[in-house]
């Protein structure tokens, strides 16, 4: 047996000038912000649009960016019959359909999580209806409910239910055996177990489902408003765009489309905010 | 005084897709208050199944399991469990909230629950990490939180299912010594499943050796009767090898 070797390193030189702490140039730091890069992309698209509009010089087919922005401002600030009214109309229909659809999806999911026939029902129904755009059932809604708010709520509900239900179900199924067992170890059972363990544990999937459900419902709603608005002569944003086209107010058509995009982005922003405060903060989603 | 935990001729089965497996067959033993019972055996010997039955997740088809004289019929916080899985904390709660939560659910008064949570978080050395979320912790730290969560409930018995098996060797050794210290400070009763003879010899006051197909008790050893840990390890090894020879003879 040899003696263990002990040694001490003395007089370790300390680097005077640490190369790792040199500063990153300010412009490069700015470019590393996603918001800055995105703003650059938006500006580039607007620039291409403006150049194309001036080059084609057919304002009835492609109005300039400035005309469109002026039309958007005018539509938003008009004393009566302004864009906010149409936006409110759309959001009212959307929130009704989305709320009912989410509630139905919750019921379907509970049914599917707890019984085998419920699971078969959900997976069969969703795979059968998944390829069907929600607007495709419009003729049925027209037959059963006529030109009415009920038709709009029916179709937005329809557009919400399946994406939400399937994501919720997959989320619940993905909750680990360990977490389930931990919940039962705490004495939780039935609905208490679902509310306190399964729902928070499945939250990343539930958020994805709600997000997909809402954007699906919003797309269906805009298309539907164009169809129903043409018959009823009133409606939300979809009808605004179509009506402006019929009046040949082309910059307003573009302004309406921009408003629709803006609302879609706002939804995204809300979901991103909720996710940052919940599932991302908890490390359940990167 | 009668034993705290009484397992009497318990036979435990579980179902897979195509068969009913008898995992534990007519097993009997008792655990006294303040004991550290180690259930030792190789994978497949039914040791985890036995622990799940004590936890209330499986009910014996024959025989009985009773805690403090009452039959175990379902999971409950009087038998807090520390699992092997490092992802056993609720990811949406901080360390402190994780330790508090089972106490809140069981109706422990708020002030007392908070005092106990702080006390046990400090005891496992995580006072500075109390406001962190589980994903910010290492595997060893998560395991410490799980132990603190279990002990803070002051369960009749703390069940541990190979809790340190997934940790690296250094962390495991630390955790073993910490567990001993915590158990001695709190006087808790522990039932601990392991496949590691040395872990059993280090941590146990009593070691039960299970042999597989179906799970049966081969030996029930009182650690205090052995002169040294090495002697206990040798005895356990001998029991396990005897069992191997018996199985080979039976197969021949």
Other CB atoms within 10 Å distance of the CB of residue A140: 13
Q: What's the distance, CA A229 to chain centroid?
A: 25
| Min Cα–Cα distance to chain A from B45, Å | 21
pLDDT for the residue numbered B247:
67
The values of phi and psi at residue B211, to 5°, are -115, 150
What is the per-residue pLDDT for B192?
94
Q: Which residues does chain B have within 8 Å of residue A187's beta carbon, measured at their own beta carbons?
A: 75-77, 102, 105-106
* Per-residue model confidence as pLDDT tens digits over B194-229: 999 999 999 999 999 988 888 888 888 888 888 888
Residue B46 Ramachandran class (φ > 0 left, ψ -120 to 50 alpha, else beta)? left
Task: Write out pLDDT tens, residues A129-145.
Answer: 878 888 889 889 989 99
Q: Does residue B80 contact residue B189 with C-beta atoms inside 8 Å?
A: no
Integer CA distances (angstroms), B22 to A119, B17, B152, B159, in order: 30, 14, 35, 22
In a mutational test of the B interface, the residue from A181, A185, A206, A282 whose CB has the highest number of chain B CBs within 10 Å is A185
Closest chain A residue by Cα to residue B92: A282
Count of CB atoms situated within 10 Å of the CB of A176: 12
Q: Which residues of B113-145 are buried (b: 16+ CB within 10 A; e: fewer)?
A: bbebbbebbebbebeebbeebbeebeebbbbbb
Q: Is B138 in the A-facing interface, judged by CB distances under 8 Å? A: no
Is the Cβ of A184 closer than 8 Å to some Cβ of chain B?
Answer: yes
CA torsion sign for B67, B71, B75, B76 is negative
A200–B133 C-beta distance less than 8 A: no
When the pLDDT of each residue in chain A is averaged and rounded to a whole number, the result is 89
pLDDT computed for residue A147 by the predictor: 86
Interface check A202 vs B, CB under 8 A: no
Q: What is the pLDDT of residues B112-147, one digit of tens each?
A: 999 999 999 998 889 999 999 999 999 889 999 999
pLDDT digits over A178-222, tens only? 999 999 999 998 889 989 999 999 999 999 999 999 999 999 999
Closest CA to B22 of B220, B216, B247, B162: B216
Low-confidence ranges of chain B (pLDDT < 50): none
Q: Could A283 and B85 be called an inter-chain contact, meaning their C-beta atoms sit closer than 8 Å?
A: no
Q: What's the Cα-to-Cα distance from A236 to each of A80, A216, A242, B143, B220, rounded to whole Å?
A: 15, 17, 10, 55, 77
B135·A178 Cβ contact <8 A: no
- What sign does the dihedral A155-A159-A162-A165 (CA atoms) show? negative
Probe site for chain B from A175, A178, A182, A275 (most B CB atoms < 10 A): A182
Contact A186 B77 (CB under 8 A): yes
Per-residue pLDDT, B206: 93
**Interchain CB contact of B105 with A (< 8 Å):** yes
């Amino acid at each position: 047996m040899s003696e263990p070797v002990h040694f001490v390193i003395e007089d370790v030189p300390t680097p005077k000038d640490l190369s790792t702490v040199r500063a990153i140039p300010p412009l490069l730091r700015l470019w590393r912000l996603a918001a800055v890069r995105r703003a650059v992309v938006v500006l580039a698209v607007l620039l291409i649009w403006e150049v194309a509009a001036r080059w084609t010089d057919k304002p009835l087919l492609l109005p300039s960016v400035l005309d469109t922005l002026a039309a958007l401002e005018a539509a938003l600030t008009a004393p009566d019959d302004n864009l906010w009214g149409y936006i409110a109309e759309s959001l009212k229909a959307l929130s009704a359909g989305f709320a009912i659809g989410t509630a139905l999806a919750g019921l379907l999911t509970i049914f599917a999580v707890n019984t085998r026939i419920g699971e078969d029902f959900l997976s069969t129904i969703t795979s059968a209806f998944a390829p069907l755009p929600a607007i495709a059932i419009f003729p049925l809604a027209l037959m059963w409910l006529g030109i009415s708010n009920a038709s709009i709520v029916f179709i937005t509900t329809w557009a919400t239910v399946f994406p939400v239900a399937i994501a919720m179900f997959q989320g619940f199924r993905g909750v680990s055996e360990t977490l389930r067992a931990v919940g039962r170890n705490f004495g939780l059972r039935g609905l208490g177990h679902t509310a306190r363990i399964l729902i928070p544990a499945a939250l990343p999937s539930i958020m994805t489902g709600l997000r997909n459900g809402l954007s699906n419902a919003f797309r269906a709603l805009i298309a539907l408003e164009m169809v129903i608005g043409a018959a009823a002569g009133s409606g939300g944003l979809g009808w605004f765009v179509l009506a402006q086209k019929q009046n040949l107010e082309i910059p307003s058509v573009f302004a309406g489309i921009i408003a629709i995009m803006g609302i879609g982005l706002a939804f995204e922003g809300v979901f991103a905010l909720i996710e940052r405060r919940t599932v991302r903060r908890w490390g359940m989603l990167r | 005084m009668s034993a705290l935990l009484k397992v009497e001729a318990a036979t435990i089965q579980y179902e897979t897709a195509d068969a009913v497996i008898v995992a534990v067959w007519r097993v009997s033993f008792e655990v006294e208050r303040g004991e550290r019972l180690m259930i030792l055996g190789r994978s497949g010997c039914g040791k985890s199944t036995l622990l799940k039955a004590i936890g209330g997740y499986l009910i014996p088809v024959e025989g009985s399991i009773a805690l403090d004289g009452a039959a175990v019929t379902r999971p409950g916080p009087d038998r807090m469990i520390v699992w092997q899985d490092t992802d056993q904390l609720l990811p949406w709660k901080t360390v402190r909230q994780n330790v508090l939560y089972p106490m809140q659910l069981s109706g422990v008064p708020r002030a007392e629950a908070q005092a106990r949570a702080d006390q046990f978080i400090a005891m496992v050395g995580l006072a500075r990490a109390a406001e962190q979320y589980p994903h910010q912790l290492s595997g060893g730290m998560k395991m410490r939180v799980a132990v603190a969560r279990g002990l803070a409930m002051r369960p009749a018995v703390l069940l541990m299912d190979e809790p340190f098996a997934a940790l690296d060797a250094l962390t495991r050794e630390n955790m073993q010594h910490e567990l001993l210290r915590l158990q001695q400070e709190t006087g808790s009763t522990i039932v601990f499943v392991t496949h590691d003879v040395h872990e059993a010899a280090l941590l146990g006051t009593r070691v039960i050796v299970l042999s597989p197909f179906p799970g049966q008790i081969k030996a029930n050893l009182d650690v205090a009767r052995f002169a040294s840990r090495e002697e206990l390890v040798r005895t356990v090894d001998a029991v396990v090898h005897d069992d191997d020879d018996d199985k080979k003879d039976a197969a021949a």
